[in-house]
Amino acid sequence: MNPAAEARAKVRANHPEAIVVQRGRNSIKHRLADREDGRQRFALDVAIGPLHYGPDSDQEIDTALVPSTTPWDWEMTKAGFEVRALSTLNAGQVIEYRNGSEWVRFQPMALQYSNDLGQIQPISMPGAVDAAVDDDTLTWTDGYGPGRTLTWQAQTARLAKLLTIDSLADLPAVEQFILDGGNPVLELNLIFAHSSGVTPYVNGQEWKRGDRDTQGLVEFRDGSGNVLWWFALPRSWDSDGNGQLGTFRFKKQGNSLYVSHRVPLSFVQGAAYPLMVDVTIDKQVGASADDGHTTEDGFLYATLDFAVWGIATWTRDAFFRWTGISGLSGATIDVAYSRVYGNGYTGTPNSNIYADDQVSPGQIASRADYDSRTPTTAFVAWDGGLADGSWFNSPSIVSVIQELADSYDPTVIQILQKDDAGS
């Protein structure tokens, strides 16, 4: 995927004369034909994630996997990090995530049931399955047995891994001793290794190789304390959008370092299938906090890589924050919209789109923080849902962005998408 190229293509489809005049880490600016009165016109595309990499943030990210050299089969090198992979799922360390001279490698291991006593009921080991490669994604169909597929995707700022279980019937029955051992879980295991200059940290403390459970922050730091990568939270979700925060368990077994994603069995058995189990590694801590949602009961979901609006048990209000904005002061806004990727919907999720009425709004830290933000006077209704697996443009938000341009020279734009009595 090359998001900057996609942005260029969209602009030039409507403005063949467009010329790129400025690039930033997450933005690209085109000069368009002047207005009839001689005023200059520009098109500015800004993404939450990065569009460019390199010392000057001017090289277009392209996450497509291409053939590599021995010992690897595939590689992605055109981003702020590099990925290398083997084709066969049970070939050992099949994925390498590299930042300069530092790296971390992962070997998929057992899928199993477990409990508080440490008892194990095996389900499957990764099989001798070759990956199908589609652009930036490796897919091992039935890699953990029938109906249990593993994917690894090189995204612009993260390496996303997902185990998809098609049906509860694709999992074996849980044996009684697992239930009797307390707090039964479905457990996906990985062995990981890292270069000598990398140190894992769990909840801000160096991991000393003892057993450690966490639902919080896991980082890989270099010798200077800089965060190279971090694990996104251990979450799972089902086809109805119901989510579950699991637990990461870190342990040393022999000479191997293990990380296990433990999902409560109650969620596994009550889910609307297919069920997705996520172990994603991010390039930048906090990047995902630029989008998310908050609920009327006070919870904030800002470390996930998706946002929700509408009503699902609680009223949910979304937010999206774009940085790297420039040149809007006094400008006349002709076209503006928010573009999001749909992951499905139910009912009629009606919403109103506002902007956070500030020149440079910070990330939202809590529900109270969300409620304290002053919205623009202008807003736009967006009613209806987003089908699964497609990109969607919101209705025109020219009036919202024009209000900001008339008031400030904004460097950050944060959209506040609020529920409007949908169902």
Same domain, 175 and 301: no
**Single-letter amino acid code for the residue at 205:** Q
Final residue in a domain of this structure, among 259, 284, 309:
284
Same domain, 276 and 292: no
CATH number of the domain to which 123 belongs: 2.70.98
> Does residue 280 lie in a domain region?
yes
> Does residue 334 lie in a domain region?
yes
For 262, the 3-state DSSP assignment is strand
Mean pLDDT, all residues of the chain: 86
Same domain, 260 and 313: no
State if pTM tops 0.85.
no
Final residue in a domain of this structure, among 261, 284, 307:
284
Same domain, 243 and 299: no
Same domain, 142 and 256: yes
Are the C-beta atoms of 102 and 135 separated by less than 8 Å? no
Same domain, 231 and 351: no
Same domain, 279 and 382: no
> Does residue 416 lie in a domain region?
yes
Q: Looking at residue 129, what is its pLDDT?
A: 97
For residue 11, pLDDT over 60 is answered with: yes
Same domain, 270 and 140: yes
Final residue in a domain of this structure, among 258, 284, 310:
284
> Does residue 59 lie in a domain region?
no
Same domain, 337 and 368: yes
For the stretch 236-295, pLDDT in tens is: 888 887 888 889 898 888 778 888 999 999 999 999 999 998 766 555 444 457 777 787
The answer for residues whose C-beta is within 8 angstroms of residue 251's C-beta and 6 or more apart is 210, 211, 212, 257, 258, 260
Domain range spanning residue 385? 286-423
Q: Looking at residue 386, what is its pLDDT?
A: 63
Question: In terms of DSSP H, where are the helices of 205-301?
Answer: 265-270
d(CA 198, CA 219): 10
Q: How many domains does the chain have?
A: 3
Are the C-beta atoms of 144 and 126 separated by less than 8 Å? yes
Same domain, 78 and 208: yes
> Does residue 253 lie in a domain region?
yes
> Does residue 60 lie in a domain region?
no
> Does residue 58 lie in a domain region?
no
> Does residue 84 lie in a domain region?
yes
33: DSSP letter: P
Same domain, 280 and 296: no
For residue 216, pLDDT over 80 is answered with: no
Same domain, 162 and 234: yes
d(CA 396, CA 394): 6
For the stretch 296-326, pLDDT in tens is: 766 665 544 445 554 555 577 888 888 878 7
For 214, the 3-state DSSP assignment is strand
